[in-house]
C-alpha cells in the first residue's frame, strides 16, 4: 500500500479553500449583492412618475448625503445620492425612509445597497447592507 505524499495536502488544501471562497464572494462583487435579483432603481423614472413604480421592490446602491429627520420608535429619513455606473449623468438626491428597528448607524459618505419598496410616494428600505 502506498502513502500519499504530504506535499499534495500542503498544496491542495489551500487551493480548495481559495476556490470555495472565490465561489462564495464573486457573485456578491459582480452585481447587487444579496439584492442582485432585483431590478435597479431608476431615480429619473421615480422623479417623472413615481406612481408607475408603486408596490414594486428595487435595488438601490447609494451614498448617504445627510439625515433629514429622525423620530424615535418610527425611523429616519435620509437624503441619499444613487451611485451610478455612468459618471456623465448628474447625480440627484432622493429621500429614503428607514423604519425603526435597524441597528445600523448612518453617517455621511457611507455606501449601502438597499432593497426599496415604493409605497405611495415614499421609498421604504426593507433591507440593506454596507459595501
| CB contact set of 101 (below 8 Å; sequence gap of 6+) | none
Q: What domains can you pick out in the chain, each with its CATH number?
A: 35-130 (2.40.50.140)
Q: Which residue has the cell 470555495?
A: 20
Question: What confidence category does residue 17 fall into, taking pLDDT thresholds of 50, 70 and 90?
Answer: confident
Dump pLDDT digits (tens) for 23-53. Answer: 777 665 655 567 888 899 988 888 888 888 9
Question: What confidence category does residue 112 fall into, taking pLDDT thresholds of 50, 70 and 90?
Answer: very high
Whether 1 shows a pLDDT value over 70: the answer reads no
Task: Please indicate whether residue 107 or residue 25 has the higher confidence score (pLDDT).
Answer: 107
Instruction: Tell me the average pLDDT across 44-73.
Output: 91
Amino acid at each position: 500500500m502506498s502513502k500519499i505524499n504530504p506535499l499534495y495536502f500542503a498544496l491542495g488544501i489551500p487551493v480548495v479553500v481559495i476556490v470555495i471562497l472565490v465561489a462564495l464572494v464573486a457573485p456578491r462583487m459582480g452585481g447587487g449583492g444579496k439584492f442582485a435579483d432585483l431590478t435597479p432603481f431608476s431615480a429619473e423614472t421615480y422623479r417623472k412618475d413615481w406612481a408607475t413604480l408603486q408596490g414594486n421592490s428595487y435595488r438601490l446602491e447609494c451614498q448617504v448625503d445627510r439625515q433629514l429627520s429622525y423620530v424615535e420608535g418610527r425611523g429616519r429619513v435620509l437624503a441619499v445620492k444613487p451611485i451610478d455606473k455612468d459618471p456623465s449623468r448628474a447625480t440627484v438626491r432622493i429621500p429614503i425612509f428607514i423604519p425603526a428597528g435597524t441597528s445600523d448607524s448612518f453617517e455621511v459618505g457611507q455606501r449601502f445597497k438597499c432593497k426599496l419598496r415604493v409605497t405611495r410616494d415614499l421609498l421604504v428600505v426593507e433591507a440593506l447592507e454596507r459595501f
